[in-house]
């Protein structure tokens, strides 16, 4: 059953090959925006809209309370890191919270896509919790990064953040008609491998989305990218194709990841993949350095390479509007 009619213009956009502005090129431009102008795709046609919840496409204030909502993704706070690339990750996390609190449209909750701590130490998790308490959004949903599950296979992470989760900490929830799925791809990693979801989690996920209507917008969030960004550096998930296969029927899928400490975006059919900046330190672009470690930049540049991601859902629109906001 075809929920989304094949739009002639949409088809044309997809057929273009490095010629003019195709959908891929448009979204590259979207990622550069970051200034508050939000582009969304409506039936494949880009539509700009003022960056405020409650303003519909005709520019008039929308008094309908259920028009949509926004949330903010933060990632890779690495609490406890103290090397030259950023000697004060507490200050930059606080700056991220200040940025959240300064948004014209306050987010309804936060998603943290992992590497909350740097060394899985209790005082590091405590410090992040403490700093996030001053955010306007009181609900924070977490998934772990590999730095959060060191030494004890995630035991201390799960003690802290594992309530209402299954297995290694995966879970889902619904918010105003959007279905959110938090996945864990940083446990039981195999030598020479990439991120990994594992059979148990994939089984759970298949069941979790099976009975949802095709028109339900889906947001997947996980630490390591669920697409192949740069396998040489481990920037990918070996069994993500299976997970994405369960989402084929949905008209709108947004995948939010962290781990690589820079923004990157890819669109594949109905699925938009997006990675967030870190609030702690930047990392080099794929292949532009010997290794994917912390990248030292001049002090005055640091905050321009750290940031948060604001995500807007407008009811009735296929895709979520994603805007990256640097700290400086």
Partner 1 sequence: MKKNTRVAVAGLPVLTATLLVATLLMEGPSRVVASDQPQAAIADVKIDNFSFAPETLNVTVGTTVTWTNRDDIPHTVVSTDGIFKSKVRDTDEKFSYTFTKAGTYPYFCSVHPKMTGMVVVK
**Maximal CA-CA distance, the chain:** 55
How would you classify residue 44: left for phi > 0, otherwise alpha for psi between -120 and 50, otherwise beta?
left
Q: How far is the CB of 262 from partner 1 (least distance, A)?
A: 16
Cα-Cα-Cα-Cα torsion 310, 316, 318, 323, nearest 10 degrees, comes to: -10
In this structure, what are the phi and psi dihedrals at residue 163, rounded to the nearest 5 degrees?
-60, 135
Q: How far is the CB of 24 from partner 1 (least distance, A)?
A: 27
Minimum CB distance to partner 1 smaller for 118 or for 303: 118
Minimum CB distance to partner 1 smaller for 19 or for 290: 290
The beta strands (E) that lie in 65-139 are given as: 68-74, 110-112
In this structure, what are the phi and psi dihedrals at residue 62, rounded to the nearest 5 degrees?
-100, 110
Minimum CB distance to partner 1 smaller for 153 or for 301: 153
Q: How far is the CB of 83 from partner 1 (least distance, A)?
A: 4
Minimum CB distance to partner 1 smaller for 72 or for 197: 197
Site of interaction with partner 1 (CB under 8 A)? 83-85, 118-120, 146-147, 150-151, 189-194, 232-234, 290-294
Q: How far is the CB of 118 from partner 1 (least distance, A)?
A: 7
Q: How far is the CB of 33 from partner 1 (least distance, A)?
A: 31
> Which one, of 137, 142, 250, lies nearest residue 186 by Cα?
142
Q: What angle, rounded to 10 degrees, do the helices at 23-33 and 8-15 form? A: 90
Minimum CB distance to partner 1 smaller for 83 or for 207: 83
**C-alpha span between 159 and 238 (Å, rounded):** 27
Minimum CB distance to partner 1 smaller for 231 or for 269: 231
Q: How far is the CB of 84 from partner 1 (least distance, A)?
A: 8
């Amino acid at each position: 059953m075809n929920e989304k009619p094949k739009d002639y213009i949409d088809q044309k956009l997809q057929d273009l090959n490095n010629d003019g502005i195709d959908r891929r090129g448009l979204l590259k431009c979207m990622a550069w925006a970051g200034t508050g102008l939000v582009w969304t795709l409506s039936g494949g046609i880009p539509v700009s809209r003022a960056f405020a919840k409650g303003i519909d496409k005709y520019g008039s204030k929308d008094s309908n309370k259920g028009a949509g909502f926004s949330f903010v993704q933060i990632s890779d706070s690495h609490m406890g890191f103290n090397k030259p690339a950023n000697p004060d990750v507490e200050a930059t996390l606080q700056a991220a919270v200040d940025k959240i609190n300064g948004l014209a449209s306050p987010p309804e909750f936060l998603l943290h896509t992992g590497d909350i701590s740097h060394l899985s130490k209790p005082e590091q998790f405590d410090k992040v919790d403490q700093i996030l308490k001053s955010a306007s959004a009181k609900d924070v949903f977490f998934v772990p990064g590999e730095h959060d599950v060191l030494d004890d296979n995630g035991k201390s992470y799960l003690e802290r953040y594992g309530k209402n989760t299954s297995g290694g900490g995966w879970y889902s929830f619904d918010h105003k008609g959007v279905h959110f799925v938090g996945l864990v791809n940083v446990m039981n990693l195999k030598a020479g491998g990439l991120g990994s979801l594992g059979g148990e989690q994939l089984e759970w996920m298949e069941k979790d989305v099976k009975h949802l209507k095709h028109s339900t917008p889906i947001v997947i969030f996980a630490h390591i990218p669920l697409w192949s960004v740069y396998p040489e550096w481990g920037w990918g998930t070996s069994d993500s194709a299976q997970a994405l296969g369960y989402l084929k029927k949905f008209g709108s899928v947004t995948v939010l990841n962290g781990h690589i400490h820079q923004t990157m975006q890819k669109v594949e059919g109905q699925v938009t993949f997006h990675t967030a900046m870190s609030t702690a330190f930047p990392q080099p672009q794929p292949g532009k350095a010997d290794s994917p470690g912390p990248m030292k930049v001049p002090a005055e540049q640091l905050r321009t390479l750290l940031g948060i991601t604001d995500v807007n859902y407008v009811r009735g629109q296929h895709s979520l509007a994603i805007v990256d906001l640097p700290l400086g």
